Structure 1
Amino acid sequence: MTPEQKIEQLTGRRPTAMEPLRGGCIGTVRRARMPSERDLVVKIGDASAKLSIEGEMLRYLEEHSALPVPHVLHSSDELLIMEFIESSGHGSSQAHVHAANLLAELHTHTVDRYGFDRDTLIGSLDQPNPWYDDWVDFFAEQRLMYLADRCVEKGQMSSSLRDKVERLCHRLDRYIDAPNPPALIHGDVWGGNVLFDGDQVAGFVDPAVYYADPEIELAFTALFSTFEQSFYDRYDELNGIRDGFWEVRKDIYNVYPLLVHVWHFGGSYVSQVRRGVGRFV
């Protein structure tokens, strides 16, 4: 069955056009122009794309939080169909405040342990999520060391830099002494995954969810300059940003997304990991 036929089966309407969209590191992405209903986004890949996981993550966020995400109509490993969200660029300062309201609310959804019910993805990279009672152990073993080993296996990073990451892991409890409770995070909040529409956020896409210390989400947004200062001011009003985050923990947490980028792209991200780790080792 073609994507067009699947859409017709789901909606009773056949798309009038299938237009390419930018983005998507897994497979191809199309906008399905619908004759009367809201347009749809169609992601197409082979079985290795694991698009069903993205569909599960979006459904989880829709069911367990107020975060605006596209409604999923169909998901399988090879095909993901969801509603298209209209957006209009960078967004105003008020839209960045709205983003803080949304992520602060998301981070109020907590459980007793760190991890998730299943492994997820960040981009096309597997993201293991076994349940842990201890955040520092989870971050060291399932984020930093997991990624460092994967980067060495792929030939993107030297074993000597991997060993420095390991030394950092042995020192983490010096810097992360009182983590926040396990909170639901989006997991991949860079600018391309936040859809603004004027003074508000229309939606968040391409999640990499799990339960974490939410500071790791704030660090990620700072690394990629996702938001203006108004976002952090508002988030601090709502949930608080503890002392030491900006000075120390932000840079420690950002070793993880930098390792993700080393695995995907290599290049200058290797030197950024070296500098980030070198500050503490």
Structure 2
Amino acid sequence: MLAESLSSMDEAITESVTDWADCPVETTTELDGGQVGSVHRVDLADDRRVVVKTADTDLRIEAEMLAHLRSVGGLTVPDVYHATADLLILEFVPGDSAISPAVERDLAARLADLHATETDQFGFPFDTLTGRYRQPNPWTDDWATFFGDERLGHAAACAREEGVLPPDLAERLGALGDDLPVLLDHDPTPSLIHGDVWSENLLTDGESVRAFLDPACYYADREVELAYAEWAGVAGETFFERYRAVAGVDSGYESRRHVYRLYPLLTHLRHFGSEYLDPLDATLETLGY
């Protein structure tokens, strides 16, 4: 995308970036990935190049998630240069979002490494965000309880309050929630996940993943990550061949993945509207609800 005029970024934000950099802004380019807020590449007069993000959410949470993924999980993420509630300045990492077989293999290995970061409870040190919405993360011993209460139950209740989830689907989700101890019939170890692995949150170079963006992280059943990446189209047969070789996949995943897809479907329903009602209905039918 070609550089745009300074007017493409809010004047007050341009001023804030100038103050932080102690250097004038020369050009800005709007980048993809601004579904929540806006994202710009900013070229400074001293030849530095950064990414500037603004949003209605508290961007300090994203900065803290990136720091956790880097320092605890060892994931390759952009450096955070500056973070306030409404302004995030990040390292610019060149790349695109193309997913080749080589990228799938690299993605599998990197996620397997991330998932090897484990703890003794499900949750996170603080509530995180998925897009603009809060993810509650109280430390919880039992996975089915955590996923039922803090993911499916919480998202469904919010969607009902927002008027986007019809009562019949809410009732079916409630019935499934009651059965989660049976549906999630294995004993996962709490593993650190990125939480939002799809093409726009990956910077790739044709051979590998150069950086992971926009996390929604917490300690979870690692299959949550696998199910989402598969649903989002970045984890195909090549990915799973490598992931199985490196980390293994428990028996029963083929059934559990449909349960785990319900959460991103609810999240997408809340963000983007009724186009996700039919996939939500179909997934519940697949599961027998």
TM range (shorter): over 0.9
Equivalent in the alignment of 1:92: 100
Equivalent in the alignment of 2:64: 56
Contact 2:97–2:200 (8 Å) recurs in 1: no
Contact 2:33–2:201 (8 Å) recurs in 1: no
Distance in 1 separating the partners of 2:104 and 2:19: 38
Secondary structure in 2 aligned to 1:82?
strand
Equivalent in the alignment of 1:33: 43
TM-score (norm 1): 0.93
Structure 1 counterpart of 2:279, which letter? Q
142, 147, 155: which is aligned to 2:155?
A: 147
Kindly report the root-mean-square deviation, in angstroms, between the aligned alpha carbons of the 2 structures: 1.7
Structure 2 counterpart of 1:113, which letter? Q
Distance in 2 separating the partners of 1:27 and 1:74: 17
Contact 1:38–1:84 (8 Å) recurs in 2: no
Is 1:260 equivalent to 2:250 in the alignment? no
Identical-pair percentage: 36
CA offset digits 1:122-151 (Å, max 9, x no partner): 011111111100000000011111111111
Contact 2:230–2:236 (8 Å) recurs in 1: no
Q: CA deviation at 1:254?
A: 0.4
Structure 1 counterpart of 2:98, which letter? H
267, 273, 284: which is aligned to 1:277?
A: 284
Q: CA deviation at 1:89?
A: 4.0
Q: CA deviation at 1:26?
A: 2.3
Contact 2:95–2:210 (8 Å) recurs in 1: yes
TM-score (norm 2): 0.91
CA offset digits 1:230-259 (Å, max 9, x no partner): 11111111110111112x001011011001
Is 1:233 equivalent to 2:241 in the alignment? yes
CA gap of 1:90–1:218, structure 2 versus 1, over 3 A, is same
Gaps of 5+ in 2: 1-10
Distance in 1 separating the partners of 2:160 and 2:64: 30
Equivalent in the alignment of 1:24: 34
Distance in 2 separating the partners of 1:172 and 1:91: 33
Equivalent in the alignment of 2:227: 219
CA offset digits 1:213-245 (Å, max 9, x no partner): 000000001111113321111111111011111
Secondary structure in 2 aligned to 1:16?
strand
Written as runs of structure 1 = structure 2, the 5 A alignment for 1:117-128 is 117-128=125-136
Distance in 2 separating the partners of 1:68 and 1:14: 29
Structure 1 counterpart of 2:178, which letter? H
Q: CA deviation at 1:91?
A: 4.0
**Number of residue equivalences:** 278
